[in-house]
Amino acid sequence: MTARLLRLAVTVVVIAMLIASAGCKTSAPPSGQAATGQTRTPTPPPTSQPSGTQPTAQGESAGQKAPDFRVTDVDGKSHSLRDYAGKILVVDFWATYCKPCVEHLRDYNDAQYELSKQGVQFLALSMDDSDAVIRGWRPDGFDIPLARLDPGTQKAFFGDLAIVPIPQVRIVDRKGTIRYSFGPETTSAEVKEAVKVLVEER
């Protein structure tokens, strides 16, 4: 009986480790929220990428022009790629039910005031299915624009794939080119290091 319990405990630990390593998947939101998302297909990384940078998703790749998207944030303000022309844009794909996403987003919010002085802007596109859910999550003093990821914008960034592990980050340079593409295993520190590389470019 003891041996069976030991085998069961080991199995549970292994399954938990596999789930943790896979990141948050949009196919498993809490009840009441729609499931969307996609997997990643490896492509060659761009030059001068910090270690830990993840392969880009199918449908776009580092070195290509960013898609000309338009979204409306939870406060009713419109955001498009053209609005960020000449700036470095960090597009963060997240959800309120994804703990790593929330931790990264809070970290970016802490850094964004100083980075904005250097021409860096953040835009967080949520896979939640309700603006009310996002507004209910938003802490006091949170300044990064929050918008839902609509199907058209999702397709523009990720193509026709079915599952997107989150968090995901795409960093667009001043010329509108996707320079860095990060997946769930990447830390917020690595994202900020990539931003620093682009800030120092002239």
Closest by CA to 101, choosing from 1, 16, 191, 8, is: 191
pLDDT of residue 73: 98
Spatial separation of the C-alpha atoms in residues 88 and 45, rounded to whole Å: 19
105 CB neighbour count, 10 Å cutoff: 24
CB 45 within 8 A of CB 53: yes
| Cα distances (Å, whole numbers) of residue 61 to 8, 93, 162 | 42, 16, 17
Q: Does a cis peptide bond (omega within 30 degrees of 0) precede residue 30?
A: no
For each of the domains in the chain, give its residue range(s) and CATH number, in order of start.
25-199 (3.40.30.10)
Spatial separation of the C-alpha atoms in residues 195 and 116, rounded to whole Å: 11
Q: What is the pLDDT of residues 70-120, one digit of tens each?
A: 999 999 999 999 999 999 999 999 999 999 999 999 999 999 999 999 999
Region 31-47 average pLDDT? 38
In this model, does residue 1 exceed pLDDT 60? Answer: no
pLDDT of residue 44: 35
Region 21-29 average pLDDT? 53
Q: What is the pLDDT of residues 2-15, one digit of tens each?
A: 666 556 655 544 44
In this model, does residue 155 exceed pLDDT 80? Answer: yes
Spatial separation of the C-alpha atoms in residues 105 and 66, rounded to whole Å: 21
64 pLDDT band (50/70/90 cuts)? confident
Find residue 175's DSSP bridge partners: none
Find residue 72's DSSP bridge partners: 78
162 pLDDT band (50/70/90 cuts)? confident
pTM, whole model, 2 decimals? 0.75
What percent of the chain shows pLDDT beyond 90? 64
